Structure 1
Amino acid sequence: MQAKVVIVGSLNMDLVTRAPRLPRAGETLAGQSFVTVPGGKGANQAVAAARLGASVAMIGCVGDDAYGEQLRTALLAEGIDCQAVTPVSGESTGVALIVVDDSSQNAIVIVAGGNGHVTASVVDSFDALLSGADVIICQLEVPLDTVGHVLKRGHELGKTVILNPAPASGPLPAEWFAWVDYLIPNESEATALTGLPVDSTASADAAASALLKAGVSKVIVTLGEQGALFASASRSEHFPAPKVQPVDTTAAGDTFVGGFAAALADDKSESDAIRFGQVAAALSVTRSGAQPSIPTFAEVQASAAHSAAQGHQS
């Protein structure tokens, strides 16, 4: 079966250590724990879409090292098509070196490794996957030229194209906007794209309006516990977030994007897809870690049914 959702993006191994505090320059600290966790925004979104009901393929690059094999194995275990997860000879797999202190502040160093080798020619060699997709997702953790190439190709093929502009540090190339069906930034990314401060539903609406004027078809600004703001040329709507007790917000945005895409690929309405992604993201923040926190389709269904039952009782 050809994939309904194709993700072109990053695969990282997260190397996470905990310490009482972040080290100063030249200082050696005794850490408390160390774990390796599969990550990268592209891989996280692929896992989310797969667990949440979609048939998924991943296009990306890893190194010819043990981490690359581990990341590929982890995706295969989720039922993800990895024919286009390409090892690069003589290169390391992308890593994120993360130190977390006792107050949950962190310091992160990212090394692109294989992710820097996701070129337009690599993508073109798997054009059949793009042609077979219903939804194509990109982020900004692979070369920007490649992202633009994928957005344009997805638009040419008539696919639903989603861009999660993370991590965004400034405006995007103007020509991209015409190729994107859904632009999904968080508050800080919306600020980076527009120069407007985004910290509320009203300010998110103003940023979304600016992005629509720039040529984007539809915008969803994710606002954490404040929910999400959807905007198009014809309407603007706020979707409140499910109320949960957060433990760790890592990969909540990736879970939303993957869940939203999976629901769209299953022919759900736009509003239902947003709500589905929100329930999935809310469940993810009640658990620790990136990919380990992402819920399954059955868990989201059960949570939505439980919330509906409580709503009828109140």
Structure 2
Amino acid sequence: MSRVIVVGSANVDVTTQVAALPAPGQTLLATDTALLPGGKGANQAVAASRWGTATELYAAVGADSFGRLLRTALAAQGVGLDRLIEHRSAPTGLALVTVAADAENTIVVAPGANSALTADAIADLRSRLGPDDVVLLQLEVPLATAAAAAVAARAAGARVVLNAAPPPQPGSSGLATLLANVDVLVVNETEAIALSGAGTPAAWLPVAVALREQGPAAVVITLGGDGAVACTGDGSWHQPALPAAVLDTTGAGDAFCGVLAAALADGRTLPQAVRAGCAAGAAATEGRGAQSALYGRDELDARMGDVA
């Protein structure tokens, strides 16, 4: 049975609602505040699990109330937690999320225990993988850990999906090794610019082509309300966005990545997986918080007009 194995972060999101994002030096009063489960690794694991694919998470949390909150929330979503580390000295990662009335957001992350997810913590990964598995990575954990996971996955014959977020500096130690072992690189517009070193482009497909030259077999650039573009060795294409009643964009990119990985593990082609990811991203914007929107494979197939 194919699985999605996520190696990544787990945070608690301190989310505030404001009329508009603050300007530098500005103080605003929030209209609402909430503590919600988050972290790119955890968010993407939840999205993959909701698709119906067996999903496991390698992550680290603190031995604190936030860590217990995350463990409970992830277990309720069906995510396998046998490799969730409880760190005795570092606190659970924390994300400060500000959401404006137009659904745009800003996010600042304090990694905490996520920094303790070292390459040693995933030493058994290769032995647990099979060729039908998909390993899903992000960069809220040390880049060296992501690189080690990609190398282990490639050695086991598994596929690797990397969401390069937050974006590393070009030339970062281990980045070339990581990208050389990636099957699908997923980035948003900001991350694509940072990783490519280019200015804001007139078109995104050439940026995807350029990023593919850094090593990944395929590149997907998510474009929010404009959908996504993708590039492989066989060509490139644009996937339009799907309709949504947008409330909060927090976690939409994570939903895209988690469902894309799950769809690939499920045997769908990359174009089909990108389309499913766009459906998940649309659904995710209709609830508040990174994991609050409820959707599964049947709901997403219905959004796409597909037969489940």
Is the structural similarity TM-score above 0.5? Answer: yes
* Matched residue, 2:121: 122
Cα pair distance change 1:114/1:302, threshold 3 Å: same
8 Å CA contact retained: 1:99, 1:107:
yes
Cα pair distance change 1:75/1:98, threshold 3 Å: same
* Matched residue, 1:217: 217
Cα distance in 2 between the residues matched to 1:194 and 1:28: 35
Between the two proteins, the alignment pairs up a number of residues equal to 303
* Matched residue, 1:274: 274
Larger radius of gyration: 1
The alignment's TM-score, normalised by the length of structure 2, stands at: 0.89
Cα distance in 2 between the residues matched to 1:19 and 1:205: 34
Larger mean Cα displacement after TM superposition, 168-177 or 203-212? 168-177
Identity %, equivalent residues: 37
Unaligned stretches of 5+ residues in structure 2:
none
8 Å CA contact retained: 1:6, 1:133:
no
- RMSD (CA atoms): 2.5
1:299 aligns with 2:299: yes
8 Å CA contact retained: 1:92, 1:114:
yes
Cα distance in 1 between the residues matched to 2:229 and 2:134: 21
1:189 equivalent among 188, 191, 200: 191
Structure with greater helix percent: 1
8 Å CA contact retained: 1:9, 1:59:
yes
Give the aligned residue type for 1:188. Answer: T
Alignment of 1:161-240 (within 5 A): 161-171=160-170, 173-198=175-200, 203-240=203-240
SS at match of 1:161: strand
Cα distance in 2 between the residues matched to 1:243 and 1:35: 27
* Matched residue, 1:5: 4
Alignment of 1:1-314 (within 5 A): 4-18=3-17, 22=22, 31-100=30-99, 108-131=107-130, 134-171=133-170, 173-198=175-200, 203-293=203-293, 295-305=295-305
Cα pair distance change 1:33/1:248, threshold 3 Å: closer
Cα distance in 2 between the residues matched to 1:29 and 1:248: 19
SS at match of 1:262: helix
8 Å CA contact retained: 2:182, 2:216:
yes
Give the aligned residue type for 2:94. Answer: V
The alignment's TM-score, normalised by the length of structure 1, stands at: 0.88
Give the aligned residue type for 2:117. Answer: V
8 Å CA contact retained: 1:136, 1:162:
yes
Cα distance in 2 between the residues matched to 1:168 and 1:154: 21
Q: CA deviation at 1:268?
A: 1.3
8 Å CA contact retained: 1:8, 1:59:
yes
